[in-house]
């Protein structure tokens, strides 16, 4: 009985942020900026199991909001910039930070689903006799 050598163990966070396949660690997870590939080009893992839903957007907004709100408050209180300039600067900053975080967070959540064997919950009904 022959077994295939397993790739070195990596965390789902490390794999996801690099966009690597969670099974072989070599294939690409994405087929564009945020679109998941249908399957791994190296090992053939079907990515249809992955459904990160709104998780990446929620985490990106939550992570980005505190520093950007702090920056907006600092602009207002320390530099007294005009309100429109403050809105433009902080809006551009929040969009940029969220876009930078979306891909690594989505990759992390997809890899976590594979590593932890996450799947949809099912209602189990006991047999009634």
Instruction: Tell me what pLDDT residue 126 has.
Output: 75
* Phi, psi dihedral angles at 46 (to 5 degrees): -80, 125
Instruction: Tell me what pLDDT residue 70 has.
Output: 96
Cα–Cα dist 101/14, whole Å: 14
Instruction: Tell me what pLDDT residue 93 has.
Output: 97
Q: What are the mean pLDDT values of the chain's consecutive 10-residue runs (129 residues total)?
A: 58 92 93 94 92 93 96 95 96 96 95 88 74
Taking residue 102's Cβ as centre, other Cβ atoms within 10 Å add up to 17
Tokens linked to 34: 């945020």
Q: Do the Cβ atoms of 24 and 30 come closer than 8 Å?
A: no
Rg (C-alpha) for the chain, rounded Å, is 21
Check: pTM over 0.85? Answer yes or no: no
Instruction: Tell me what pLDDT residue 128 has.
Output: 65
Instruction: Tell me what pLDDT residue 9 has.
Output: 61
Cα–Cα dist 112/116, whole Å: 6
Given the structure tokens 């945020």, which residue do they identify? 34
Cα–Cα dist 8/43, whole Å: 15
Taking residue 107's Cβ as centre, other Cβ atoms within 10 Å add up to 27
Instruction: Give 76's DSSP letter.
Output: I
């Amino acid at each position: 009985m022959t077994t295939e050598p397993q790739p070195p163990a990596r965390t789902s966070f490390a794999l996801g942020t690099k966009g690597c396949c969670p099974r072989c660690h070599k294939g690409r997870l994405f087929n564009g900026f945020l679109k998941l590939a249908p399957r791994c080009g190296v090992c053939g893992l079907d990515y249809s199991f992955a459904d990160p839903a709104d998780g990446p957007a929620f985490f990106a907004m939550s992570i980005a909001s505190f520093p950007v709100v702090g920056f907006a408050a600092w602009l207002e209180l320390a530099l007294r910039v005009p309100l429109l300039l403050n809105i433009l600067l902080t809006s551009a900053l929040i969009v940029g930070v969220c876009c930078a975080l979306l891909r690594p967070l989505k990759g992390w959540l997809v890899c976590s689903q594979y590593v932890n064997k996450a799947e949809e919950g099912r209602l189990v009904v006991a047999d009634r006799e």
